Structure 1
Amino acid sequence: MSRLTLGPVVVTTTAIAAVGASVWLDLATTSAERALALTEPATATALPGVLLAIAAVVVLHARPRDTVGWLLALVAVAWTVDGALYGWPAYSLARDLPGSDFAYWFVGRVGAFLLSGLVALLLLYPTGRLLTGRWRPAGVAVLVASLALPTMLLLAPDSVVFTRGEPVGSTEIVRLPFSDATAELLLRLAQVVTLGSIVAAVALVWVRHRGAGPRERTQLRWLLWAGIMCVLMVLAGATLSVGGTVTTVLLDLAVAALAVSVTIGLLRPELGDVDALVAWTLTTAVVAAVVVLVDVAVLAAGSELMGDRLDERDVTVLVLVLAVVVYGPLRSWLGSGVRRLLLGRRGDRYGAVSALAARLETSGTVDEQLPALAGAVAETFKVRHVRVDVLAPDGGMLSASHGPAPAEVQAIDIAYQGQQVGRLVLPVQGFRSMLSHRDQGLLVDLVRQAAVAIRARLLATELQESRERLVLGREDDRRRIRRDLHDGLGPVLGGVALRLQAAGNAIDADPGRARELVALARTEVSGALDDVRRLVHDLRPPALDDLGLEAALRQQADRVRSEVDVAVRAEGLVGLPAAVEVAAYRIVSEALTNVVKHAAAGAVDVHLEAGATALTVSVADNGRGIGPDVTAGVGLLSLRERAEELGGRCEVTCPDGGGTTVRAVLPYGTAVPDTVGTSERSSR
């Protein structure tokens, strides 16, 4: 069996043997013998080491080379051995057996190294390495400081270490050349330094958390939960002011929390919702503290007011009645209030959603709805900063924020019907920013509801602007056609009529002049026909009627073929509505013009495919693409407007392979695709 696989077996065997020895020593000694030796039951002291040993075995079984796992194993073995030796003095002194001085020496002088093990665990978890960079010297210094108390305990005289005089003989290895007073002062200073190293180690855990990745942060939050549980157990023991079994149980619970959290954090950090666990633990602890304080105050007041008038039985009955009838509902309301104060309204899912609905209902424009959403999320989750970014119709970004921005934030996408329409930005740090799965569900509900309202408002605004552009464009076309007819074609035709009349009058008197006038009239009529053709082309390209859509596009491709190689492919272009043909022709023409002017491409692929309900148009080039900082110009906006006039969509993208792709869906059936690129969905 190799050393790596032997480790868990050795740890398990040692822990079981030490605990077995502790149980046997407790059963073999009496309370009087333990009192004479100034010791307590050994099993209670060794039991936390067993919990750590179980954690170490589980970790080392899965990851035999894990540094933190070996550290846990070392601490577990030392803890269980310390517990077994703690029970030996009572047994050996009562039976005049050797080894009591060694047991006192180990428990009193070596046991303090367990504190150094705790500091090392904080500094090395979860990677097994100290922090790198400028924080590495700080980690080394903290680790050295944690050895101050254990080292001083090894060197101090017995009279300072064992104030109650437990050892029979001497346990001193090296005696310091100081007086007992000086040695005691140095021991107290070492105690402060070692305890301070624990605080510094916790601070370095926070530093590690700030610079860690997502998985490591989750692992550190498991350690955070264990730390919270340890603090709560210590505070509970100090508040209750009890010893013996209760203190032992609290210590065992704290160590169990540490063992379980470290094991999960090292092996399966994603096993549970640790953020929800941390938030629930903190909230429950605060609520319990407040409720207990009020309980004590109510009982003290009741005893003070009625204790002298009623006997103990009557006071008990009266307090129980008051607790059930009056204080029970008050206590529930108080707990809910504290939870809302700490975590906001995330527990009231319906209330949060309905409150946001009321806010959005009273907000008219998007500029009012965005701050309403940011404020609702901040109030619901009790976070200091929320920012909402929403994509505007022109490609820009509309933003609204609530509260000052922290140093580090996290972004959550806002989607509507599978399309991203914006994002929600929240803080990363702080336990209020730890979102449980239930909290994430509530956040999704809030964002989904707001996204529908904001998207509807944006679409309404965009529709209104599109209508205005259509009306203005239609009036501009009418004004242009009127001007062309009135100022161009009208005078020409009027001049032709006058020349023909003059030619008729001159036929008999001056036939040559009549022929000249007829020739001039013919020239003017030819010019008028050109104007008519131009007007007709602006209304609808004649090539669509003369050649059809595919041939007309090939004709457009031939015009730019000297600049770029164009390939035209078409499928099913039969019986298309006139408006769809015109839109497709204009979109392809504009896209080809943009390619020649801006793309510096060598080839363009034009593909048209008619489905059951829509025509899909794609123009893809292999040029340099469009930079992310380029603002959409008139040409790109006109492409989108021509598609939207028919209820379709048009998007311009730059694929990873390079170039630019213009893709439009032009519906002509009863079903309209909701996203670009799904024109055949309803037909398949």
Structure 2
Amino acid sequence: MRRVLEPVGVAVVSLVAMAASIWLDLATTGAQRAAAGTDPAAATVLPGLLLAAAAIAVLWHRPGDTVGLLMGVVALVWTVDGALYGWIPYALAHDLPSTDASYWFVARFGAFLLSGLVALLLLYPTGRLVGGRARPVAYAALIACVALPVGLLLAPDSVLFTHGEPVGSTDIVTLPVSDATAQAMLRVAQVATIGSILVAVVLVWVRHRRAAAHERMQLRWLLWAGIMCVLMVLAAATLSVGGLVTTIFLDLAVAALSVSIAIGLVRPGLGDVDALVAWTLTTAVVAAIVVAIDLAVLAAGTSLLGERLDERDVTVLVLVLAVVVYGPLRGWLGGLVRRLLLGRRGDRYGAVSSLAARLETTGTVDEQLPALASAVADTFKVGHVRVEVVAPDGGILSATHGRAPAEVQEIDIAYQGEQVGRLVLPVQGYRSLLSRRDQGLLVDLVRQAAVAIRARLLATELQESRERLVLGREDDRRRIRRDLHDGLGPVLGGVALRLQAAGNAIESDPDRARDLVGLARTEVSDALDDVRRLVHDLRPPALDDLGLEAAVRQQADRVRSELDVTVETAGTAGLPAAVEVAAYRIVSESLANVVKHAGAGRVDVRLDAGPTALTVTVADDGRGIGPDVTAGVGLLSLRERAEELGGRCEVVCPDEGGTTVRAVLPYGERMPR
């Protein structure tokens, strides 16, 4: 109900006031308005109607919002004041008795509109005064902003209207003081109210410094409105045309304020407000320069040519100057203003190409990360940037540009659903607030660079892994050669000699021949054991004899005296030989680690074969792995066995405790052994 009543009430009153002002303007002649010293009322009501529209939008989306209610009250006072302004000449022309009351409201109470606008500055956007040590100052400004309206409300007509008699009496409520005292009080009140405006602007800046990102975005819209109001007032004062043109400028200023407050409260992320601020400043400065050049050229032309420079020539000259000067000047100055305010965030292609050029000219990762941090700082013109990239082993590589402020904000960078890095930026500062478009550019920049850097890390690690594989293979070949040359070869040579000796002694000394044959049999048995050991190192025989599932269960049986082990498998038949070996080795190494280091009582082993990969999971309920523990040879071997097949292996410690080893071993389409 409240959501409907508040905006509907503001809409009804403001529209009725607008309709009444239009009717009064039509019912009053120009001579009657001139006699009363008034202008058309509809032009006075229009700014209030614009504020009312903004208040309606805010109250509809945010029922009971303090700023929305205050804006609605200001709008109602403004529209009612405008309607009564139109009533004055009509009442005078028809000799109606309500002239004095209407004139009192317009001449005295209407000054409270200024207080309402100051209160909007003090309360926007939260509806509360700024906190901390600045709050007493905010209370003082809130009180001071009503000093002049109260003074105008209580001063006698003889003080207010020193240049002629008013059209009606406004001495309804006045202080019983002399005119000199009243004038002194008004001067003090005027200084206090004007000072409250300046204090309110300063407090807006203080609030912006302290605000979070969302609130600072809202305050940016107020900044743009403030710039527009200043430009409109300066334009009206510079042109000094008065009348309708001045009214249009003031209406545009109120429209900008109304729209910016409504957007800031309802949808602050609607557009790139920083780019809007830059565009507004650029357009204003360029327009001022073009007008100045036009005036200077016209003055010079008039001085030189005199009356020969007619109106048509002036028009053509102004148009030519506008075309020749405005476009290039606006482009150059706009780029300069954007770079000064926002860096190069508006030039998306330039930012990406600049980053690519920096990364191309830097070789190692240790050089690329600082280059990335520096590129982000230059592009977004911020004083501090820290870039973090997640290494393939889970570690964090980082680089910092500039001195770290007291407060920072973190932005996670993900690629294909996986976090690849993090960006740390200041919370405070004009350039630290990122619009939706800025965040898109920033994420694109860092993501592509982080992916490139991570790819470099992966390539380096892959090369190192290949080198380890080659070294390991050569070590295995050396060990097998040594075992064959130094072990199995001499044994078999000795067997051959013993058999030869047994053959020579079989007739002359049968007992000795039997002994030699027995020794040869023992040596052959030992040689067979060596062969089995070599074969087991190449591929565990249990995989061929029992299959992967039974071989894993056999490994589990060997540690059941120390652990409660459960084994679950699904679809493990017919896996490629390399996948079976890797899975068997990972399970064996994991169980050995649990027995040696985990202090666990239970281990769950699961092998789950899907269409394209085998997932191996070994989870225990032990003490876990501390964050300061460096991965040993065993953990590295687990990862290397998975990476040999193009898979991955991770070791994590869940929040509920224990350690979980999870390896994914791809094999493409299932194929028989």
TM-score w.r.t. the length of structure 2 is 0.84
Structure 1 unaligned regions, length at least 5: 671-679
Aligned to 1:252: 251
Aligned to 2:77: 78
- Offset, 1:554: 0.8
Q: What SS does the corresponding residue of 1:395 show, helix, strand or coil? A: coil
Query: In the alignment, is residue 293 of structure 1 matched against residue 305 of structure 2?
Result: no
1:220-619 pair list within 5 angstroms: 220-266=219-265, 268-269=266-267, 273-274=270-271, 276=272, 278-303=273-298, 305-310=300-305, 311-313=308-310, 314=313, 316-318=315-317, 320-321=319-320, 323-324=322-323, 328-481=327-480, 533-619=532-618
Q: What SS does the corresponding residue of 2:649 show, helix, strand or coil? A: strand
The alpha-carbon distance between structure 1 residues 635 and 229, as it changes in their structure 2 partners (threshold 3 A), is: farther
Partners of 2:278 and 2:334 within 8 A in 1: no
Mapped to 2, the partners of 1:172 and 1:559 lie a distance apart of 104
Partners of 1:108 and 1:162 within 8 A in 2: no
The alpha-carbon distance between structure 1 residues 460 and 103, as it changes in their structure 2 partners (threshold 3 A), is: same
Mapped to 1, the partners of 2:194 and 2:635 lie a distance apart of 67
Q: What SS does the corresponding residue of 1:273 show, helix, strand or coil? A: coil
Mapped to 1, the partners of 2:481 and 2:199 lie a distance apart of 84
Mapped to 2, the partners of 1:148 and 1:354 lie a distance apart of 58
The alpha-carbon distance between structure 1 residues 193 and 595, as it changes in their structure 2 partners (threshold 3 A), is: farther
Aligned to 1:643: 642
Give the aligned residue type for 1:356. Answer: L
Q: What SS does the corresponding residue of 1:615 show, helix, strand or coil? A: strand
Q: What SS does the corresponding residue of 2:85 show, helix, strand or coil? A: helix
Q: CA RMSD in A?
A: 4.0
Partners of 2:290 and 2:326 within 8 A in 1: no
Mapped to 2, the partners of 1:258 and 1:426 lie a distance apart of 31
The alpha-carbon distance between structure 1 residues 241 and 459, as it changes in their structure 2 partners (threshold 3 A), is: farther
Mapped to 2, the partners of 1:423 and 1:221 lie a distance apart of 26
Give the aligned residue type for 1:194. Answer: T
Give the aligned residue type for 1:273. Answer: L
Q: What SS does the corresponding residue of 1:309 show, helix, strand or coil? A: helix
Partners of 1:37 and 1:166 within 8 A in 2: no
Give the aligned residue type for 1:637. Answer: L
1:213-224 pair list within 5 angstroms: 216-224=215-223
The alpha-carbon distance between structure 1 residues 547 and 404, as it changes in their structure 2 partners (threshold 3 A), is: same
Partners of 1:563 and 1:596 within 8 A in 2: yes
The alpha-carbon distance between structure 1 residues 339 and 412, as it changes in their structure 2 partners (threshold 3 A), is: same
- Offset, 1:608: 1.6
The alpha-carbon distance between structure 1 residues 391 and 17, as it changes in their structure 2 partners (threshold 3 A), is: closer
The alpha-carbon distance between structure 1 residues 612 and 81, as it changes in their structure 2 partners (threshold 3 A), is: closer
Partners of 1:145 and 1:194 within 8 A in 2: yes
Mapped to 2, the partners of 1:306 and 1:114 lie a distance apart of 47
Q: What SS does the corresponding residue of 2:267 show, helix, strand or coil? A: coil
- Offset, 1:127: 4.3
Mapped to 1, the partners of 2:388 and 2:165 lie a distance apart of 70
Aligned to 2:183: 184
TM-score w.r.t. the length of structure 1 is 0.83
Partners of 2:391 and 2:397 within 8 A in 1: yes
- Offset, 1:557: 0.9
Q: Deviations over 1:79-109 (max 9, x none)?
A: 1222233344444455554444433433333
Partners of 1:608 and 1:618 within 8 A in 2: yes
Give the aligned residue type for 1:269. Answer: R
Mapped to 2, the partners of 1:320 and 1:65 lie a distance apart of 51
The alpha-carbon distance between structure 1 residues 341 and 390, as it changes in their structure 2 partners (threshold 3 A), is: same
* Larger deviation, residues 544-553 vs 195-204: 195-204
Partners of 1:496 and 1:525 within 8 A in 2: yes
Aligned to 2:113: 114
- Offset, 1:21: 3.6
Mapped to 2, the partners of 1:219 and 1:53 lie a distance apart of 19
Query: In the alignment, is residue 47 of structure 1 matched against residue 46 of structure 2?
Result: yes
Mapped to 2, the partners of 1:646 and 1:7 lie a distance apart of 68
Aligned to 2:140: 141
- Offset, 1:383: 3.6
- Offset, 1:556: 1.3
Partners of 1:356 and 1:376 within 8 A in 2: yes
- Offset, 1:372: 3.1
Mapped to 2, the partners of 1:324 and 1:153 lie a distance apart of 50
The alpha-carbon distance between structure 1 residues 93 and 550, as it changes in their structure 2 partners (threshold 3 A), is: same
Mapped to 2, the partners of 1:120 and 1:322 lie a distance apart of 44
Mapped to 2, the partners of 1:613 and 1:386 lie a distance apart of 42
Mapped to 1, the partners of 2:515 and 2:587 lie a distance apart of 46
Give the aligned residue type for 2:309. Answer: E
Partners of 1:156 and 1:176 within 8 A in 2: no
Aligned to 1:662: 661
Mapped to 1, the partners of 2:52 and 2:77 lie a distance apart of 10
The alpha-carbon distance between structure 1 residues 265 and 351, as it changes in their structure 2 partners (threshold 3 A), is: closer
The alpha-carbon distance between structure 1 residues 469 and 231, as it changes in their structure 2 partners (threshold 3 A), is: farther
Mapped to 1, the partners of 2:478 and 2:188 lie a distance apart of 94
Q: What SS does the corresponding residue of 2:303 show, helix, strand or coil? A: coil
Mapped to 1, the partners of 2:145 and 2:303 lie a distance apart of 55
Aligned to 1:195: 194
Mapped to 1, the partners of 2:282 and 2:352 lie a distance apart of 25
Give the aligned residue type for 1:636. Answer: L
Q: Deviations over 1:374-405 (max 9, x none)?
A: 33333333444433211123322222233444
Aligned to 2:173: 173
The alpha-carbon distance between structure 1 residues 79 and 293, as it changes in their structure 2 partners (threshold 3 A), is: closer
* Larger deviation, residues 156-165 vs 454-463: 156-165
Q: What SS does the corresponding residue of 1:468 show, helix, strand or coil? A: helix
Mapped to 2, the partners of 1:98 and 1:464 lie a distance apart of 98
Number of aligned positions between the proteins: 666
- Offset, 1:506: 11
Partners of 1:104 and 1:166 within 8 A in 2: no
Partners of 2:649 and 2:664 within 8 A in 1: yes
Mapped to 1, the partners of 2:505 and 2:46 lie a distance apart of 131
Mapped to 1, the partners of 2:467 and 2:460 lie a distance apart of 11
The alpha-carbon distance between structure 1 residues 61 and 467, as it changes in their structure 2 partners (threshold 3 A), is: closer
Mapped to 2, the partners of 1:3 and 1:282 lie a distance apart of 35
Mapped to 1, the partners of 2:225 and 2:629 lie a distance apart of 51
The alpha-carbon distance between structure 1 residues 607 and 98, as it changes in their structure 2 partners (threshold 3 A), is: same
Mapped to 1, the partners of 2:528 and 2:488 lie a distance apart of 9
Partners of 1:53 and 1:76 within 8 A in 2: yes
- Offset, 1:156: 3.6
Mapped to 1, the partners of 2:345 and 2:566 lie a distance apart of 57
Mapped to 2, the partners of 1:204 and 1:322 lie a distance apart of 43
Aligned to 2:15: 16
Mapped to 2, the partners of 1:509 and 1:371 lie a distance apart of 88
